[in-house]
Chains A and B, each alone.
Chain A
Amino acid sequence: MAVKGVISKAKSVIMGIPSLMKAFFHNSLAGYIMEAKSLKDLLIYTKYWALTWAVIIKLILKLLFKKGPIVLVRELIHYPWMFTLLRATGLMRRLSRGRRGAYLESTCLIISSIAGTVVRIMENIFYHPERLIIGQDVVTSEIPIAMGLNCWQLEDFGILLPFLDPEAALQYIDAAENEGINPDACSFVKMPVGMIIKGHMPKGIAIISSNMTCDADCTMYSFVQREYDLPIYRLDVPYHFYNDRAEKLFAGDLMGMIEFLEKNTPGRMDWDRLREVCQARNRMMELELELWELMRAKPAPLAAEAVYLSHLWFFYVFPGDKVSVRLFEKLVDLARKNLASGIPAYEHEKYRAVLWQPPFPHYVDIFNLLERTYGITLIIDSMTYNRHEPIDTSTPDSMLKGLAQVMMQGPMVRHTRGPAENYLDDIFRIYKQFDLDMVWIGNHVSCKGSQAMNGILQEKCREMKIPLFILDYDLIDPRIVSHDGMINQVDRFMENVMKAKRLDQ
């Protein structure tokens, strides 16, 4: 019986080899070599493919030689999601399908840059755990960076892992639900909770969090604090924050956070370092505004990941870092290059869209697919659209006030506090500024807060005759609405409301 079982298993593995090989080929460099439309595109792709693998291999070798093979194996067992990170080039392949020239390069550049920064995060975990703090994603990390601390944002891998493997989050979501968390709680919260329950989350020495963005997020940090028994500081974002009083109050709160970190960690505030970080952040913002200006052209010179992923990762995780500044310089160069040559990101651009809400982590390919099926280019998204002033770096007080503004007026924070206009005005401003054709709402089914806005938004868009598409999905869990289900919704909207014809038929 046992032998029969082994034979049967071996048989199914062997039978599965052709489809595995096909999938591997489809997503590998070899597959790209066959599909590349030009030698230049092939060289671009290969360059970034090689750079990505180089940083991954460097991490592995460094860990192997610095810590030894036993520690390497132990870390891989402790953090099995590291294997998922090996799919970085697979992600590059999926996102670059059908893209050419500067647009291809922008996509590959971003994936490769993120891979490099993820490696840095891993190195902080392995080599400097004594300086590792757990930070919330919306608490921007300029202050810990200036204090010589390394920030591990709990939510980062909730976004990143599903990008690489749509099913990466499932075991963690299930672990959280099995421990008693509500099934209808936000999957973005269940994921880190599940990682902690399974012991796959780095610990850190202190926690900085806040009352943003929602109750579920706040509750998660209570759980983390209890599980890890770490000191925690919670920033308290005022409800009405577009006034001096709120800025002063919140700047004071940031000062409190600095004092907390100095008391509970080896970090010490270096105001000169903070000035450098803030100046670099201002430079990033300048470049991004320039990129937005270039994106107003029709057709757009770049799209999708060049806009949303660049902001999402580099402004939140590595603000004011030289890698981030260089990335945005390069993106602006690529956009300028395309614009000057009259080359659009996608030659058959028919529809320009804004995506409101975070991108679709477990189905990040969707915009690549929609470029090719309907000519939809994603011009901008809500997580990217920031409207604060540059940080005044003249004094510590002015820097803290500037950072207070950045956090209080940041996406999701601004949109979940204050009047509905905070949410609506941005959407309509973006619609006009970028000359868009439609507004897409990524309707994360677990997000009660944003669901509440949908009704008002529908009414307003109806009044203003703006085509609005509300795409139901779950942020992290692909089982709630399948990829096919998402595409069906898109097809119905595009066919019935936009009267669009598919480009691939």
Chain B
Amino acid sequence: MFYGGCDVGSTTGKAVILDENGSIIASSLVPSEIDPELTSILALEKACAQIEDLGSYKDLAYLVGTGYGRNEVPFANENISEISCHAMGTFFCSPDIKTIVDIGGQDVKAISLNGDGSVLEFAMNDKCAAGTGRFFEAMSRIFRMDLEAFSELSLKAGKIIPVTAQCSVFAESEVISLLARKNPPEEIAAGIQTAVSKRCFTLLKRIGMRPQVTVTGGCAKNRGLIKALSKIINMDVTSLPVDPQIIGALGAAIFARRKGNSLHASPVHLHTGRS
């Protein structure tokens, strides 16, 4: 039997499939379509294609939908909040983690966990694109780089040039003028990473940050951001043993397995297949 979790985000759709032992046997990542149902189908089909014994997502024993468009996945057995899914996914990867920052395409969430992986508190910024994946996309365009190259750029900086604008639109203007004045790009990039980290820090303070802290979502792959955040919160950011971008889908799949066979989930076996 196979259990699926599908995280339909604003920028990407993710799917994770577990077997009955709780092993991750497939995962996928697709760009989000305008129709969240289509996104979820594409993500699930891509994951299912990796499993010989699984025809399609319709053959899943239980499917949980989550994410930005979770309520638009009508074929899911159940929809669970992305906050709870991120909490569950993180907890099962690493039970010692008590605080999560999820930096997605269009929102940022800080989540505090209970001892059993359930949510204790959370705080969200879903009103403003500053500090989200969209913000980094805009910044990397200004620097004429792809996201990966941009994320490494700040690691070369000797010092930080502060980016003071709170708003992503004004930050763009500020960065352009800093570049035009021939300031070292890596130092500006470090300023950008620091600005985003400070915003994350504010959210973390609101929920009562406790060690260990981790970052999930696509922006967790931004090494410059992780370094800046560690500095601001004055503790190491724990990295996860799976792709941080699929954590929400993983949590959804874990809920699906729990619901599907009503057993306590055994520890997840990490990775026998990944897209």
Contacts and interface: CB of A to CB of B under 8 A. Distances in A.
Contacts of B206: 455, 458
Contacts of A496: 81, 83-84, 87, 119, 122
Interface string B113-146: 0000011111010000000000000000000000
B208 interface: yes
A499 B122 CA distance: 13
Interface string B191-229: 000000000000001111000000000000000000000
B121 A495 contact: no
Interface of A, helix, strand, loop or mixed by DSSP? helix
B81 A495 contact: yes
Contacts of B87: 496
A177 B136 CA distance: 34
A468 B207 CA distance: 11
A459 interface: yes
A495 B84 CA distance: 8
B249 to A, nearest CB: 17
A51 B80 CA distance: 47
A185 interface: no
A492 interface: yes
Interface string A477-502: 00000000000000010011101000
Interface in B73-122: 80-81, 83-84, 87, 118-122
B173 to A, nearest CB: 21
Contacts of B84: 495-496
A492 B121 contact: no
A120 interface: no
Contacts of B81: 492, 495-496
Nearest to A458: B206
Contacts of B124: 492
Given A492-B81, A492-B83, A497 B120 contact: yes
Contacts of A458: 121, 206-208
A459 B208 contact: yes
Report which residue of A468, A496, A497 has the largest number of chain B beta carbons within 10 angstroms of its beta carbon: A496
A301 B84 CA distance: 34
Interface string A198-213: 0000000000000000
A462 interface: yes
Interface in A441-478: 455, 458-459, 462, 468
Contacts of A468: 121
Q: What is the size category of the interface that chain B forms with chain A?
A: 10 to 19
Contacts of B122: 492, 496-497
Contacts of A492: 81, 83, 122, 124
A458 B119 CA distance: 15
A462 B121 contact: yes
A408 B81 CA distance: 44
Bin chain A's interface residue count. 10 to 19
B86 to A, nearest CB: 10
Nearest to B118: A499
A366 to B, nearest CB: 19
Nearest to B206: A458
A447 to B, nearest CB: 17
B208 A497 contact: no
A497 B208 CA distance: 15
Contacts of B83: 492, 495-496
Contacts of A455: 205-206
A462 B80 CA distance: 25
Given A492-B81, A492-B83, A462 B208 contact: yes
B138 to A, nearest CB: 24
A499 B87 CA distance: 13
Nearest to B84: A496
B123 to A, nearest CB: 9
Contacts of A459: 208
B132 to A, nearest CB: 17
Nearest to A463: B208
A497 B84 CA distance: 9
A159 to B, nearest CB: 26
A499 B80 CA distance: 11
A495 B85 CA distance: 12
Contacts of B205: 455
B60 to A, nearest CB: 22
Nearest to B87: A496
A496 B111 CA distance: 10
A327 B121 CA distance: 40
B76 to A, nearest CB: 14
Contacts of A497: 119-122
Contacts of A462: 121, 208
A3 B205 CA distance: 62
Listed residue (B81, B121, B124) with the most chain A CB atoms within 10 angstroms of its CB: B121
Contacts of B119: 496-497
Nearest to A469: B121
Nearest to A495: B81
A459 B206 CA distance: 8
A495 B205 CA distance: 22
A184 B73 CA distance: 38
A470 to B, nearest CB: 9
Given A458-B208, A495-B81, 6 more contacts: A455-B205, A462-B121, A492-B83, A492-B124, A496-B84, A497-B121
Nearest 4 pairs between A and B by C-beta?
A496-B119, A496-B83, A495-B81, A462-B208
Interface of B: 80-81, 83-84, 87, 118-122, 124, 205-208
28 contacts: A455-B205, A455-B206, A458-B121, A458-B206, A458-B207, A458-B208, A459-B208, A462-B121, A462-B208, A468-B121, A492-B81, A492-B83, A492-B122, A492-B124, A495-B80, A495-B81, A495-B83, A495-B84, A496-B81, A496-B83, A496-B84, A496-B87, A496-B119, A496-B122, A497-B120, A497-B121, A497-B122, A499-B118
